[in-house]
Structures are given as C-alpha cells and as structure tokens.
Amino acid sequence: MGMRVTDADVEQDDDGTVLYRGAPYTGEVVEVAPGGTVVALVTYHRGREHGPWCEWYPDGTPRVEGRVEFGRGAVGTWRTWHANGRLAEEHEFDDLGRRRAERRWDSEGTPTAERVYPDPA
C-alpha cells in the first residue's frame, strides 16, 4: 500500500469508486476527529474497499475491526466494541462474504445472542 490520505482528500464518483486527484485510489483513507485523533481507517484498491477496516472511539478505544475483499464485502471475523472497551459483537463471514455466525454481548460482557447460519446450498 504505502499511501495514506484523509477522507477530505478523496471523493466518490457516481458508481461509488473512491477517487484521489481524479483517479481510482489505492491506499489507506483515514478519518481524523477535530482534535487530530484518527477515528477510522479504510483500505482501498483501485477505488474499491479492499483490506483492513478499522474504527476507534475518540479516546482511542477500538470501535470496529474487520476486513473487506473487493467484490465480496466483509470476510473473516468482524468485531465491534462498546465504548467501555468490552466486546459488543462478533460476526464471522466466509471467503465469499456470506455470514456464517454472530455473537453479541451487553456492555457488561454478558452474552445476549448467538446464531450460526446454515451452510449455503
């Protein structure tokens, strides 16, 4: 990758392709809060989401973590956290972006839901 720009440096065209200086962008795009803290990082390849996706609360606590594959969407394990740092959700996706399982916890860490999705036909 190598290149990193802020969300203010890029734009989207009509079909959703992210552009930097008029060309499809490859690299990381960060969102910076008013105080200068990075609160999001999304990786792009040829203008499409592809690679790590991370978000943080303004205090630096993780908020969302996952991976996107071009043409497939979310893949692997995606996690979200409550503002207190406790795990809120965990979603499992297969290599084709199909949801396989999900688990949820309340802000105290108590499990509240678990679901496993059937194998696709």
pLDDT at 3: 87
Give pTM, 2 decimals: 0.88
Contact 79, 92 (CB under 8 A): no
Q: Where are the domains of the chain?
A: 4-116
Compute and round to an integer the Cα radius of gyration of the chain.
Answer: 16
pLDDT at 5: 95
Taking only the tens of pLDDT, the chain with its 121 residues reads: 568 999 999 999 999 999 999 999 999 999 999 988 999 999 999 999 999 999 999 999 999 999 999 989 999 999 999 999 999 999 999 999 999 999 999 999 999 999 999 987 6
| Residues 17, 24: Cα–Cα separation, whole Å | 7
**Residue range 4-116, CATH number:** 3.90.930
Residues 6+ apart with CB under 8 A from 121: none
